[in-house]
Chain A
């Protein structure tokens, strides 16, 4: 196993031109970022600061207006097909296909890769089991609770054993207990399989609890802070939390974060 490739973001820029008004929105001004293989990174930032746009660029759904994202020696946009089965996303809300049963939703990415039917079935089934859904394999999404649906979505992301996992506010809409439980599951699995994981969140507790690193975005994805959580003893988490909070509120790096 060679492990996931490093991620290199250089001078990344994304501008949206509104077709209706003709105005342009600078979603990402100029972002530089390196993410090492197997790192677990939390991104925090206020609504509208460009987090989801960054993910769209990471996934390759959007073309950068400037700069580049390199994953290993490939670009997720130009080498779109190369990343089939190598990258997976868990979205805010589950985004399951309502006409597919739980197991058929999990199997979707495997179908796209074109694995043999039995392999698809076995793998999907074993992932549903891992996530405690063995009794609900044939249930349709509308028959499942929000937490169960998000479990299916997690299974769907892991089933391809991706190098890179993305989660965009994947647990924010669930009640706290369920959210915490699923977050734990997600991270444990990511570590077990040695994937690089990037989680967008607007909850600081979540960010501090999950990440090796916390990246704080300001307006237009300005890099306000890049915190190595290991540098902070558990006893100072409260301070860390306050410093990040202050950073977000002032849109300026808080001096306490410099260590």
Chain B
């Protein structure tokens, strides 16, 4: 939660002074180190100057950024729909929940690396592998969060709604879904940062496009400047996506005090 708040504060239009100061101090120390590196016996490529990083930034290929972005958004959309539909089914059926809940808890404990290895061993298609890993990691988060949120909808509101005799579909569309929008948005924030970090690892295995692939290339070339540049792009991408979610959140949750 704390990390979440900090990350949001970076996006704050008021841009707190402390943030600016810490970034500046880091940049200055880095730049000084890059110039001192040779005299300290550190190879020059290890701490590239900002001019060098700037050059790398110019070589960023938008297509790789777009591909990674598309993979993240696509996989999150699939995870969201799957998670929500399963959550609704589990909300409706206690026995389904009794069977599935432990299984999902186990799935959530599986390390990302294991998912990647399974994906490589089980599937051939690169896109499918990446999608599988992302959905396996993010789907359960959507599922568990929405199920808990549905259970948390006040008894009074559920009774009121049922007293007007909705169909099952109406019950979910007019009560449950709007009631859990705040929780859904929180899940999106969590899953976006999760997916952005996981997608790059997944892309290391077999992908010939995407930011993860470019990071692997940079590593083969021993180019710290390229790694730095791609990482910057990745972080910027995450901030941008989070800003979009916050924008949507403010629009959807206008009804709140």
Residues of A near any B CB (own CB < 8 A) = 56, 59-61, 80-81, 83-85, 87-89, 91, 93, 95, 97-101, 108-109, 111-112, 140, 142
Contact = CB atoms under 8 A, between A and B. Distances in A.
B252 to A, nearest CB: 9
Contact of A88 (B162, B164, B166, B174): B164
A81 B166 CA distance: 8
B156 A142 contact: no
B163 A59 contact: yes
A91 B156 contact: yes
Contacts of B166: 112
A88 B175 CA distance: 17
A81 B178 CA distance: 23
A84 B164 contact: yes
Given A61-B159, A99-B181, A84 B255 contact: no
Interface string B68-88: 000000000000000000000
A99 B179 CA distance: 8
B170 interface: yes
A240 to B, nearest CB: 32
Given A61-B163, A84-B164, A99-B181, A111 B255 contact: no
Main secondary structure of the interface of B (DSSP, over half): helix
B159 A108 contact: no
Contact of B164 (A93, A98, A101, A108): A108
Contacts of B157: 95, 97
A97 B178 contact: yes
Query: Which of B157, B163, B174, B179 has its CB near the most chain A CB atoms (within 10 A)?
Result: B163
Interface of B: 156-157, 159-160, 162-167, 170, 174-175, 178-179, 181, 255-257
Contacts of A85: 165
22 contacts: A61-B162, A80-B165, A81-B165, A83-B165, A84-B165, A88-B163, A89-B160, A89-B163, A91-B156, A95-B156, A95-B157, A97-B175, A99-B178, A99-B179, A100-B178, A100-B255, A111-B170, A112-B164, A112-B165, A112-B166, A112-B167, A140-B255
A80 B256 CA distance: 33
Question: Which 3 A-B residue pairs are closest in the complex by CB-CB distance?
Answer: A95-B160, A84-B165, A99-B255
Contacts of B170: 111-112
Nearest to A141: B255
Nearest to B159: A61
Query: Which of A61, A88, A97, A140 has its CB near the most chain B CB atoms (within 10 A)?
Result: A97
B99 to A, nearest CB: 19
A173 to B, nearest CB: 13
Nearest to A81: B165
A124 to B, nearest CB: 14
Nearest to A101: B255
Nearest to A84: B165
Contacts of A97: 157, 175, 178-179
Nearest to A166: B163
B163 A98 contact: no
Contacts of B178: 97, 99-100
B246 to A, nearest CB: 18
Contacts of B181: 99
A93 B156 contact: yes
A153 to B, nearest CB: 9
Contacts of A60: 165
B25 to A, nearest CB: 44
Contact of A109 (B156, B164, B167): B164
A140 to B, nearest CB: 5
Given A95-B157, A99-B179, 4 more contacts: A89-B160, A91-B156, A91-B160, A142-B255
Contacts of A83: 165
B70 to A, nearest CB: 32
Contacts of A111: 170, 174
B174 A98 contact: no
